[in-house]
Amino acid sequence: MNETPLDLLISNGTVLTMDSRAPLIENGAVAVQNDGIVWVGPASNSPWKTAKRHIDARGGIIMPGLINTHTHAAMTLFRGIADDLPLMSWLNDHIFPAEAGLTEEKVYWGALLACAEMILSGTTCFCDMYLFEGGVARAAADAGMRAIVGEVLFDFPSPHYGELEKGFAYSRSLATQWKDHPLVSIAIEPHSPYLCAPDLLQRGHWMAEEMNLRLVVHVSETQSEVEQIRGKYGVTPVRHLANLGVLSSRLLACHCVVLENEDISLLKAHEVKVAHNPESNMKLASGIAPVPQLMNAGICVSLGTDGCASNNNLDMFREMDTAAKLHKVHALDPTVMAAADTLRMATLNGAAALGLDAVTGSLVAGKKADIIVIDTRKPHLTPMYRPESHLVYAASGSDVMHTIINGRVVMENRHLLTMDVNTVMQEVREIVKR
């Protein structure tokens, strides 16, 4: 028995570890010291007598925090601004003009609102692509969220940095500034093959290689994009990236809706990771990504919400439910996208997609303590035969009772501890008025 008081003990719940060696522990407990998990097991076997802080799961589910691998956090500012439009009209006629008035301070408050929404709905880590990403990095750090953020790079002048050369310089300065932060890291993020010239894509890849960063790119999101790239270069977007030498294990390809068999083979051969965004793809009528085929090929497929202007919420529980059901009906096969596989997309696969699989995504000793507790004392979660089924098909973000990130309790009993959410909402309302 360890006589040293533990920093935090979470017990009296079913521990869903997402670790194949001991996936489910009835009446389990998770022990946290400093920022990491030091022990997971049956509560009766806990080697600690006392803990400085104890969280009672009240018979609920103790599990890894969810990981949102693709979003545009500050787009909370544009939630509902241009609904029911096709992607290119939505983007060119509404979103780009709205973004022209952004500042880093506006992005900070929009991103902080997104962090509040994500923490409240059980997301502990996100990957962001947007403008004024220094503001997003500050928001994530202030909220206590784990995040990978990157400034979007275009061929045309940005509303933030202006000419492209300054965009690369800004990305490099962000990476230097946040290099040793315990929660926030930087990625290099060219927007897409249709908004980035070949040399921009290659330079982004080389910078990511040089600085050991993730590379994040929108890829094959719509049929029109594929036709545009094929018309210009004679190949699909994936083959185009392969020809440029941009495909690699550090690349996170977002969307991947319109793919050919050769594209899937190329993604697999280069160990590219994919971020699936079903609700955004549905709302913009972009199509249905061939996720079952990608997974059958052994490609790491994760899950993201995309931004609030094309999804309208950041609830990863809703995203899991949509992903599972969408692919079942599309395939006319109820066995496709089983609950356990879908949950893995939002946890372990999400961590792997962001290069954080040694850090988060499962509850095992040695990983960082990114943990959520689900309150199952609800009519819609009663009875419970299989936790994975409830989490994917019945639970929602509002069922999250506690959120712990990097060993720090950031939400307790539905109360945010790292920000005054009313102040954040009021700031966003004032920004919208102005």
Q: pLDDT tens digit string along 12-63?
A: 999 999 998 889 999 999 999 999 999 999 999 988 878 999 999 999 999 9
Provide the token pair at 424: 């954040």
pLDDT band at 81 (very low <50, low <70, confident <90, very high): confident
Amino acid code (one letter) for 433: K
Question: Would the pLDDT of 2 be above 70?
Answer: no
pLDDT band at 6 (very low <50, low <70, confident <90, very high): very high
Report which secondary-structure segment, H or E, holds 199. Answer: helix 198-211
Q: What is the rounded CA–CA span in Å between residue 138 and residue 142?
A: 6
DSSP class of 157: P
CB 395 within 8 A of CB 121: no
Q: What is the rounded CA–CA span in Å between residue 284 and residue 288?
A: 11
- CA distance readout (Å), 396 to 38, 142, 145: 29, 25, 20
- What pLDDT sits at residue 308? 93
CA-based nearest residue to 215, from 251, 161, 262, 254: 251
Report which secondary-structure segment, H or E, holds 320. Answer: helix 316-331
Q: What is the rounded CA–CA span in Å between residue 360 and residue 338?
A: 22
- What pLDDT sits at residue 5? 85
pTM for the whole structure: 0.97
Reduce the secondary structure of 49-83 to three states and give it as a string: CCEEEEEECCCCEEEECEEEEEECHHHHHHCCCCC
Q: What is the rounded CA–CA span in Å between residue 120 and residue 137?
A: 19
Question: Would the pLDDT of 217 be above 90?
Answer: yes
CB 125 within 8 A of CB 404: no
* 360 phi/psi in degrees, rounded to 5: -150, -175
Q: What is the rounded CA–CA span in Å between residue 370 and residue 9?
A: 13
- Average pLDDT rounded to a whole number, residues 197-218: 98
- What pLDDT sits at residue 280? 95
CA-based nearest residue to 245, from 209, 295, 192: 209
β-sheet bridge partners, residue 404: 371, 409
**DSSP code string of 345-378:** HTTHHHHHHTT-TTTSSS--TTSB--EEEE---S
- What pLDDT sits at residue 89? 84
Strands 66-71 and 36-42: unpaired
Question: Would the pLDDT of 428 be above 80?
Answer: yes
DSSP class of 367: S
How many CB atoms neighbour CB 103 within 10 A? 13
Q: What is the rounded CA–CA span in Å between residue 408 and residue 40?
A: 17
CA-based nearest residue to 340, from 9, 19, 83, 31: 19
Helix, coil or strand: residue 15: strand
* φ/ψ bin of 234: left (φ > 0), alpha (ψ from -120 to 50), beta (otherwise): left
- Average pLDDT rounded to a whole number, residues 153-182: 96
Q: What is the rounded CA–CA span in Å between residue 123 and residue 344?
A: 14
* 160 phi/psi in degrees, rounded to 5: -95, -70
- What pLDDT sits at residue 94? 83
- Average pLDDT rounded to a whole number, residues 412-432: 97
Helix, coil or strand: residue 402: strand
- Average pLDDT rounded to a whole number, residues 348-376: 98
- CA distance readout (Å), 139 to 12, 392, 425: 33, 29, 14
**If you compute the radius of gyration of the chain from its CA atoms, what whole number of angstroms results?**
21
CB 16 within 8 A of CB 388: yes
Amino acid code (one letter) for 407: G
CB 43 within 8 A of CB 12: yes
Quote the percentage of the chain above a pLDDT of 90.
Answer: 90
How many CB atoms neighbour CB 75 within 10 A? 26
Question: Would the pLDDT of 309 be above 70?
Answer: yes
Q: pLDDT tens digit string along 237-277?
A: 999 999 999 999 999 999 999 999 999 999 999 999 999 99
